[in-house]
Structure 1
């Protein structure tokens, strides 16, 4: 994934978070995450020179603000396992549990 693809990916996930968790209100989203509305605008812009990626810390803040409906892994699909190694074990355990349940049925 190159920078332009990563930008579009983050914008899509951010738009999903705003739409699904805050009924489309970027201002309410900004307040819940603890950033200014201007920062949200910089995260959402398609202008490559003005765009700012969402930091790993803010990805976590978004996950908490959305009650887990939008996760930090969704924002950072290529490096989440390096940013949050504690989630790797939880993900593996969850997938193993799901496979075990599927085999039992």
Structure 2
């Protein structure tokens, strides 16, 4: 794990601010650990389809956004994940730039 990584709560706050300032909507569905909680993102596109991305470690050992979209039942998926990991942040982002903002905010820090 990269010790220089910003606290999860700070990344979530920055991401929500960017999303809301752009005219989109971002909200916290479950609050995780402010320092080191995992981050699970639910991205809602213009067609109301949902994708799930999680902050994780990519094959190169660097922080990555990993697509973990289930075949169905996104709500059940994140609720099961949260039940196993009470430190997990669950964030919903609804707007055209959601994936770009997530990548810029989470991967750059």
TM bin (shorter chain): 0.3 to 0.5
Indicate the structure whose relative CO is greater, using CA pairs within 8 Å and at least 6 residues apart. Answer: 2
Relative to total residues, which structure has the larger helix share, 1 or 2? 1
Relative to total residues, which structure has the larger strand share, 1 or 2? 2
TM-score, structure 1 normalization: 0.34
TM-score, structure 2 normalization: 0.33
Q: If you compute each CA radius of gyration, which structure gives the higher value, 1 or 2?
A: 1
